[in-house]
Amino acid sequence: MVTLKSKAEIKEMRKAGQIVAAFHRGVADLIRPGLTTLDIEAFAVRFLKENGARAYTMGYNGYPFATCASVNDVIAHGFPNRKPLKEGDIVKIDIVAEKDGWIGDSAWCYAVGKVSEEARRLMQVTKECLYRGIEKAVVGNRIGDVMHAVQSHAEQSGYSVVRDLLGHGVGRELHEEPNYMHIGTPGKGFRLKEGMVFTIEPMLNAGKPFMTVDADGWTARTADGSLSAQYEHTIALTADGPMILTAQ
Ligand code: MF3
Ligand code: CO
């Protein structure tokens, strides 16, 4: 069941979103060669606590951390670790905060030092896919309109869209209905209604769209070892258009 949120509830959800956004601004300042993803995890734990928010993913389906840290060919759900980030890496940091019972969810891709032209372009196109999707996230459109905008830009740019991990409704829980891939056909799929809150979180691979999961049961990688990028926002659909709850 899709739960529609009132204006007052969306205002509450914005608080969770803004904590997530502020965390990402902090990460952008911290990121540099030599930093470890466990350093970022420690910052996240402290930052959420200071802001009266709960680290929602800690213990969620057994996930052991407040952040996901996914380097280079890791698509998503990587565990933070003590390996120093090195110049040229790209790292996706994903965080979910719960504030006053409401969830905010956003992942962002960071360049570590100077990265290759190839990595820079993959990041750029992935971010453009996110915002092209958001533009189409208006009441009356269908999810296929949103995801067609994402998919066509990705594929015209020579990249593939990961199918195995889905976007999702967000509210008092992280994963609410609906769920959908980041591919689509205009005019198809569920209709977008005022009060829907959901993520747009395209994952683009430089190579094929296929994914494998490590023995830890979480770390999702590109099957062909190619680079992967992701940007994710939590969006609320208002009569005035899409509101980015996790806008930095
Ligand atoms: N932001 C991710 C999502 O879209 C994070 C969830 S993975 C988890 O669902 F296991 F850590 F929760
Ligand atoms: Co998400």
Q: 117-170, pLDDT tens digit by residue?
A: 999 999 999 999 999 999 999 999 999 999 999 999 999 999 999 999 999 999
Q: What is the pLDDT of residues 28-83, one digit of tens each?
A: 999 999 999 999 999 999 999 999 999 999 999 999 999 999 999 999 999 999 99
CB-based contacts of 242: which residues, under 8 Å, 6+ apart?
A: 134, 135, 137, 138, 235, 236
Q: Is residue 211 part of a domain?
A: yes
* Two tokens, residue 30: 């911290």
CB-based contacts of 179: which residues, under 8 Å, 6+ apart?
A: 166, 167, 168, 169
Q: Which residue out of 23, 96, 200 has the highest number of ligand 1 atoms within 8 Å of its CB and is therefore the one to mutate?
A: 96
pLDDT of residue 137: 98
Q: Is residue 1 part of a domain?
A: no
Q: How far is the CA of 163 from the centre of ligand 2 (A)?
A: 14
Q: Is residue 2 part of a domain?
A: no
SS3 at position 60: helix
Q: Which residues line ligand 1 (CB under 6 A)?
A: 57, 60-61, 63, 68, 77, 94, 96, 105, 107, 174, 199, 201
Q: Is residue 195 part of a domain?
A: yes
Query: What is the residue range of 32's domain?
Result: 7-244
Distance from C-alpha of 64 to C-alpha of 141, rounded to nearest angstrom: 38
Q: How far is the CA of 175 from the centre of ligand 2 (A)?
A: 8
Number of structural domains the chain divides into: 1
CATH code for the domain of 44: 3.90.230.10
Q: Which residue out of 68, 74, 216, 234 has the highest number of ligand 1 atoms within 8 Å of its CB and is therefore the one to mutate?
A: 68
